[in-house]
Amino acid sequence: MIADQQQLAALDIPKIRADFPILEREVRPGVPLVYLDSAATSQKPIQVMQAMDGFYRNSNANIHRGIHTLAEEATAAYELARERIAAFIGATTPKEVIFTRNTTESINLVAQTWGRANLDSGDVVILTEMEHHSNLVPWQLLAAERNLRLEFIIVTPEGLLDLESYAELLKLGPKMVAFTHMSNVLGTINPAREIIEMAHQAGAVTLVDAAQSLPHIPVDVQELGADFLAFSGHKMCGPNGIGILYGRRVLLEAMPPFLGGGDMIKRVELRSFQSNELPYKFEAGTPAIAEAIGLGAAVDYLSEIGMQAIEQHEQEIIAYALERLEEIPGVQIFGPEAQQKGGVASFMIPEAHAHDISQVLDSDGIAVRAGHHCAMPLHDKFGIPATARASFYLYNAIEEVDKLVDGIYKVKKIFA
């Protein structure tokens, strides 16, 4: 084997797993949970739960409105979380960090505000063939409304973006290039900095879907040169219902508000209003305060462990997983080699549909995803209806890969 427990010693896996209470669960008597679905949502450490519980127990109040003690404490905790997140991604100021519900809302915000203000009939938007529906449908909606032209960077049979086809598309003079940093199906880590540099040379603005990358590898928006970058809290040890849109300040200041209501205004009259300053211009109504505080705690947790250490661990475990999966007769694995991807292994076997694979694995407590993973066009490209997907995170141990492989052999035996 190319990996063993000593090679994975960069992270103290037993210590990390102890922070995640759900990993101690048995899904049925005598059957422990093997959670391999972190690309869908990650599990949450006790530190995040304690931060949210502490807010509700001690400081629960609305923010930015009251001057009593609880309101001031809640506001301070909420804005401190924003500061931590800004530092985590390398934003130049917390004003560039907008709280949303998730990556999907962040992308819709850009499409419906920046897009409507800057895109007209015939303008070109470049996407890729490996996009999640969240970075396809918002642009399709806008394209139908504004008669935009959508073009797509080709995905090669190896699961990589064809940058030569991208260079040809840039000759069309696109206004926007929006792409995933890491594919949730193939695991491919795209060369974001190069894609962004090429887009800027062509005069385009860029949006990076970092939902799958930011929880797993170091991401610095300044180093990438990103104009917009979106991600979700629930995929990075944080709570559900909270996401982030990063945007360069000059772009955000020029954009109209997304939603209307409280807190996004500076002044309101019966027939007009004046919008608030950044970042509040895009945060209408009472926000997910506890969730923002929980995301701040998740950022602290990941920072303490170290994103480079997490990346190294996942590189080693996916390399081991691919080697073990390739031992299985007839298995088809999608995506590039381990050194070009994150901790995602999507696969098929000839004996069983992906849903059957998932159901049998679940009988042994092994949680994997089955389906098109909100990437139907990518599955259509490869001519397949669905894949089974095992996805790994900082709390996964090498023994869980072995359990996955044993489970697949069980599937093959049942459906032979």
Catalytic residue at 237? no
Burial of 389 (0-12, 13-18, 19+ CB in 10 A): buried
Helix (H, G, I), strand (E, B) or coil at 266: strand
Query: Are 125 and 143 in contact, with CB atoms under 8 Å apart?
Result: yes
Burial of 239 (0-12, 13-18, 19+ CB in 10 A): buried
What is the distance between the alpha carbons of residues 253 and 403, in angstroms, rounded to a whole number? 51
What is the distance between the alpha carbons of residues 55 and 66, in angstroms, rounded to a whole number? 16
Helix (H) or strand (E) holding 322: helix 307-326
Within 276-377, strands assigned E span 332-334, 344-348, 366-367, 369-371
For tokens 């073009």, the residue is 151
Catalytically annotated residue among 374, 384, 402, 410 = 374
Q: How far is CA 239 from CA 50, 122, 290, 292, 337, in A?
A: 12, 40, 9, 8, 31
For tokens 């073990």, the residue is 324
What is the distance between the alpha carbons of residues 78 and 294, in angstroms, rounded to a whole number? 10
**Positions marked active-site:** 374
